[in-house]
Chains A and B, each alone.
Chain A
Amino acid sequence: MADTIHDTAPHKADTLLGADELVINMGPQHPSTHGVLRVKLKLDGERVIGSECVIGYLHRGVEKIAENRSYQQFAPYVDRMDYVAAISNGLGYCEAVEKLLMAEAPPRARVIRVILTELQRIASHLLWLGTHALDIGALTPLFYCMREREEILKIFEKYCGARLTTHAFRIGGLQYEAYDTLEKDVERFCKGFDARIQEYSDLLTGNSIWIGRTRNVGVLNAADCIALGASGPVLRASGVKWDLRKAMPYAAYDQYQFEIPVGTNGDTYDRYLVRIEEMRQSRLICLQAIENIPAGPIMARVGKVLKPPPGEVYHAIEAPKGILGYYIVSDGGTQPYRVRVRPPSFVNLQALDKMIRGHLVTDVVAIIGTLDIVLGEVDR
């Protein structure tokens, strides 16, 4: 890996004090990089004038492994990519393979998938909020968010036995029937959740210290977002109303009414507001979905051994962190020829350099947090 930092000769005239530029290294072991991310920062005094991300510390060769596993065998692997929101990974993969097989999950399975995915979106955003607030110095929201996340993880555990890497969905539908109190549990959680979101909002949204730390920090305008390929709340906070759940509906999303929150400035504060609002909207989707879960089978007839016809498919979903895409090439055998994952964190991370230039070193932590990256996804 070419070490581009040391190739640059220091420019004395460029910097304010005529001093040499300073290069400091952040990570891969750092409490605030949310994983093993290494960021080389080029500083002029306190201001960042350039940066370079070094990734790959968590690369496990997941895409290569896919070539040697059958389609069903690979499904648990995708959970480990974005380990914070495993269910959405599973949804994207299963739907992609279903597209390849030209099969469709039955309506009951699709609705239960939506419920679990939206709960997972809430859980992912809760973790993001807690850790982001902790980075900026607010110690308490983390524990409140974990308390709510605990309830969601309990629902997952009751459903499929696992809290984090759930492997909840199967290709063609679901394996487990919704357990008998699923609707009641989800309803009880959603009923109490609105007050909790208000709690987090009260702590942070109007707080002038919070606003001071997040307004105008890490601004990314809409044109830059689109040029860099950013997606998810990062894109929506910059003013672009693009959400795959509305633009290219999948699963059962076309049946539900919900809003897409959009920001104006594209700074950290707007991304925070967008994610808080997304949690509210996810809660509404859950409430609508449990109103009537259609009866019927939970698994389509796809057979035990999956041998999709040769071809390729790209299927993208709106994961909590952005657009998660799966490009699967089948050669007719039981194992995929190629699985390529388009992780949202990987693409969003490219915006980091643009966002931190000109800011103080203290803001770097806030900006990395606001991108909501998971290194498992970035490195695969």
Chain B
Amino acid sequence: MSGAFQGVLAFVQAWWVELLCAMLILLVVPLIAGYIVLVERKVMADMQARLGPMRVGPHGLLQPIADALKLLIKEDLIPDNADQFIFWFAPVLSMTAALTSMGAVAFGPWFHVARDINIGLLFVVGISALGPFGIVLGGWASNNHYSIIGAIRSTAQLISYETTAGFALVSGFLLAGTLKVSDIVEHQRADNVWYVFLAPVGFVTYLIASIAETNRAPFDLPEAESELVAGYMTEYSGFRWSLYFLAEYANMIVVGAVGTTLFLGGWLRPFPNVRWLGWVDAFPALLLVAVGAYCVARAGKQPVRVQRLFMWGVAGLCFAVALIFALAAPVSFAPLKLAYAGLYGAFWFLLKVSAYIYIFMWLRFTLPRFRFDQLMRLGWHILIPLALVNVIGVGIGLAINSALGWQGWMTIVGMLPTTLATIFVGMLLIRWNDKHAAAASAPVVTEVREAEDSYAG
């Protein structure tokens, strides 16, 4: 027994940092996901010419807290004939997959969430593959015919687009030559170019596939409210439902982080190696000063004193953080310099992930929803062939580049012919698909025997 105890002690001693990070993820990520929901509601309101949540807290900032409290104290309903164990297990599985996959992402040069593991992004992709289980088991456990249909549809959609996402990521891995997160970003810095410029088709394919992976509009048929089939989340209420919901938003953060790391240069600033663009390093501080100045300008116009104080408070916070960023420049104390490099990196990384998620939200409020057969057609007939061709194209482009010995920015020129060829193939696929898609919407009238057709006439 003492051997086991010694073993546990050794385990904790060796891994206490990672355990702490795990606790942090568990506590912080749901909160962040809740605030992303608030941001989504505000962005939705902005695009729809209205204001969004404004009542709970200043400008609705306490809305996620209120929602979380409400969901926690709601009655926990379990349908009569539902499978108790699986009903409990399914949202837990979804949440576990979402949070565990976050362990391998890094949002700054030394800000790895858990550890900079060798298989980096592949770990994230693999653990995300556990996500569909939460959905299909949840739908099944509800003992509701429509939930099962919705769950199976959702899972079919997820596993179809996983293939596409995988191929798109493979084209990025070809360019990076490694799966390790810090090495991927290092290679982008060494090559002096973000991989999105070398494999734009890969990035766009990954973007579309990741929207489908997270069940977001326009791919959200399985969870749409106005459809006949109510979706796998129907029978879940209160905290269980919030687990599914938070898993969805945590997944959004994860796919944003993966896309950013592999294609958008991770934590690098634009033009990372160019010396004369070093003044771009001042951008974080300037941005925060600008936001602070805007808050100061608006503070005067607030009608109520509390609102004025709040605006002043936000402005003060922005200026304080800008000061922290600005102080980095003259600092020469080595560990602090490292910390500052990490901070800058984290700023750029979070900016890019936010832009990625903003695109998700933007598409959600602009586009109508795909019908399920159209969704599957898009995935299998257009995106998978395109992703395959893209992988081949990137490979050929790499071969061209290494044969001609081009480095740095010239690699974009080397990739250009294959990129254009891939785009051309994509357009052919879309045109070929359009011809078939119109026929797919047409009604399929089966022969009905007139004598027994009670609905005829």
- A interface residues with partner B (beta carbon < 8 Å): 4-5, 7-9, 11, 14-16, 24, 26, 31-32, 42, 44, 47, 49-52, 133-140, 142-144, 147, 203-204, 207-210, 212-213, 215-217, 219, 353, 357-365
| 9-residue interface stretch from B121-129, B387-395, B444-452 | B444-452
Do residues A358 and B446 form an inter-chain contact, with CB atoms below 8 A? yes
| Chain B hits for A137, CB < 8 A | 217-218, 220, 224, 226, 367-370
- Tally of A-B Cβ pairs under 8 angstroms: 125
6 A-B pairs within 8 Å (CB atoms) are namely A5-B454, A14-B446, A137-B218, A140-B365, A204-B368, A360-B373
CB-based nearest A residue for B455: A50
Do residues A213 and B446 form an inter-chain contact, with CB atoms below 8 A? no
Do residues A138 and B367 form an inter-chain contact, with CB atoms below 8 A? yes
- How many angstroms between the C-alpha atoms of A135 and B228 in the bound complex? 11
Q: Pick the contact of A362: B49, B220, B372, B437 (CB < 8 A).
A: B372
Do residues B218 and A139 form an inter-chain contact, with CB atoms below 8 A? no
| Minimum-distance CB pairs A-B, first 10 | A137-B369, A358-B443, A143-B48, A50-B455, A138-B368, A137-B368, A358-B445, A216-B441, A136-B368, A32-B226
Q: Which of B223-241 contact A (CB under 8 A)?
A: 224-229
CB-based nearest B residue for A9: B452
State whether the Cβ of B295 lies closer than 8 Å to any Cβ in chain A: no
| Chain A hits for B218, CB < 8 A | 137, 209
Do residues A364 and B228 form an inter-chain contact, with CB atoms below 8 A? yes
Do residues B366 and A31 form an inter-chain contact, with CB atoms below 8 A? no
Do residues A11 and B452 form an inter-chain contact, with CB atoms below 8 A? yes
Do residues A144 and B49 form an inter-chain contact, with CB atoms below 8 A? yes
State whether the Cβ of B442 lies closer than 8 Å to any Cβ in chain A: yes
Q: Which of B196-238 contact A (CB under 8 A)?
A: 217-218, 220-221, 224-229
Q: Pick the contact of B455: A42, A140, A142, A365 (CB < 8 A).
A: A42
Do residues B371 and A14 form an inter-chain contact, with CB atoms below 8 A? no
State whether the Cβ of B50 lies closer than 8 Å to any Cβ in chain A: yes
Q: Which of B402-457 contact A (CB under 8 A)?
A: 434, 437-439, 441-449, 452-455
Majority SS at the chain B contact face? loop
Do residues B50 and A207 form an inter-chain contact, with CB atoms below 8 A? no
Q: Pick the contact of A49: B49, B441, B448 (CB < 8 A).
A: B448
Min CB–CB distance B452 → chain A (angstroms): 6
State whether the Cβ of B396 lies closer than 8 Å to any Cβ in chain A: no
- How many angstroms between the C-alpha atoms of A207 and B228 in the bound complex? 24
Min CB–CB distance B274 → chain A (angstroms): 39
Do residues A209 and B228 form an inter-chain contact, with CB atoms below 8 A? no
Min CB–CB distance B215 → chain A (angstroms): 13
| Contact flag A365-B226 (CB < 8 Å), given A133-B368, A212-B437, A215-B438 | yes
CB-based nearest B residue for A26: B228
Do residues B48 and A14 form an inter-chain contact, with CB atoms below 8 A? no
| Chain A hits for B21, CB < 8 A | none
Do residues A213 and B443 form an inter-chain contact, with CB atoms below 8 A? no
- How many angstroms between the C-alpha atoms of A11 and B454 in the bound complex? 13
- How many angstroms between the C-alpha atoms of A52 and B455 in the bound complex? 7
| Chain A hits for B366, CB < 8 A | 138, 140, 203
- How many angstroms between the C-alpha atoms of A50 and B225 in the bound complex? 24
| Chain B hits for A7, CB < 8 A | 454
| Chain A hits for B224, CB < 8 A | 137
Do residues B455 and A51 form an inter-chain contact, with CB atoms below 8 A? yes
- How many angstroms between the C-alpha atoms of A213 and B224 in the bound complex? 15
- How many angstroms between the C-alpha atoms of A361 and B224 in the bound complex? 14
- How many angstroms between the C-alpha atoms of A39 and B20 in the bound complex? 56
Do residues B454 and A362 form an inter-chain contact, with CB atoms below 8 A? no
| Contact flag A360-B455 (CB < 8 Å), given A140-B365, A209-B218 | no
| Contact flag A8-B48 (CB < 8 Å), given A26-B228, A207-B368 | no
- How many angstroms between the C-alpha atoms of A376 and B181 in the bound complex? 61
Do residues B455 and A14 form an inter-chain contact, with CB atoms below 8 A? no
State whether the Cβ of B308 lies closer than 8 Å to any Cβ in chain A: no
Do residues A139 and B364 form an inter-chain contact, with CB atoms below 8 A? yes
Min CB–CB distance A295 → chain B (angstroms): 39
| Residues 340-370 of chain B, each 1 if its beta carbon lies under 8 Å from chain A, else 0 | 0000000000000000000000001111111
Min CB–CB distance B48 → chain A (angstroms): 4
State whether the Cβ of B47 lies closer than 8 Å to any Cβ in chain A: yes
Q: Pick the contact of B49: A16, A32, A139, A147 (CB < 8 A).
A: A147
CB-based nearest A residue for B225: A31
Do residues A143 and B49 form an inter-chain contact, with CB atoms below 8 A? yes
Do residues B228 and A362 form an inter-chain contact, with CB atoms below 8 A? yes
- How many angstroms between the C-alpha atoms of A58 and B69 in the bound complex? 39
**Known A15-B446, A32-B227, A136-B369; 16 more pairs at CB < 8 Å:** A4-B455, A42-B455, A44-B446, A47-B446, A50-B448, A50-B453, A51-B455, A52-B455, A133-B368, A137-B218, A137-B226, A138-B369, A139-B217, A140-B365, A147-B49, A213-B371
State whether the Cβ of B144 lies closer than 8 Å to any Cβ in chain A: no
| Chain B hits for A209, CB < 8 A | 218, 367-370, 374
Do residues A363 and B226 form an inter-chain contact, with CB atoms below 8 A? no
State whether the Cβ of B78 lies closer than 8 Å to any Cβ in chain A: no
Do residues A212 and B441 form an inter-chain contact, with CB atoms below 8 A? yes
Do residues B368 and A362 form an inter-chain contact, with CB atoms below 8 A? no
| Chain A hits for B455, CB < 8 A | 4, 42, 50-52, 353
State whether the Cβ of B38 lies closer than 8 Å to any Cβ in chain A: no
| Chain A hits for B444, CB < 8 A | 47, 358
- How many angstroms between the C-alpha atoms of A213 and B439 in the bound complex? 12
- How many angstroms between the C-alpha atoms of A137 and B374 in the bound complex? 14
Q: Pick the contact of B448: A14, A134, A140 (CB < 8 A).
A: A14
| Chain B hits for A16, CB < 8 A | 446
- How many angstroms between the C-alpha atoms of A210 and B441 in the bound complex? 12
Min CB–CB distance A280 → chain B (angstroms): 21
- How many angstroms between the C-alpha atoms of A42 and B220 in the bound complex? 25
| Chain B hits for A147, CB < 8 A | 49
- How many angstroms between the C-alpha atoms of A201 and B442 in the bound complex? 24
Do residues A363 and B49 form an inter-chain contact, with CB atoms below 8 A? no
State whether the Cβ of B44 lies closer than 8 Å to any Cβ in chain A: yes
| Chain B hits for A26, CB < 8 A | 228
Min CB–CB distance A39 → chain B (angstroms): 10
| Chain A hits for B47, CB < 8 A | 140
Do residues A365 and B227 form an inter-chain contact, with CB atoms below 8 A? yes
CB-based nearest A residue for B434: A208
| Chain A hits for B49, CB < 8 A | 143-144, 147
Do residues A362 and B227 form an inter-chain contact, with CB atoms below 8 A? yes
Min CB–CB distance A146 → chain B (angstroms): 9
| Chain B hits for A15, CB < 8 A | 446
CB-based nearest A residue for B442: A216
Min CB–CB distance B190 → chain A (angstroms): 40
Do residues B454 and A8 form an inter-chain contact, with CB atoms below 8 A? yes
| Chain A hits for B452, CB < 8 A | 8-9, 11
| Contact flag A11-B441 (CB < 8 Å), given A4-B454, A136-B368 | no
Do residues B228 and A361 form an inter-chain contact, with CB atoms below 8 A? yes
CB-based nearest B residue for A361: B228
Do residues A362 and B221 form an inter-chain contact, with CB atoms below 8 A? yes
| Chain A hits for B226, CB < 8 A | 31-32, 134-135, 137, 365
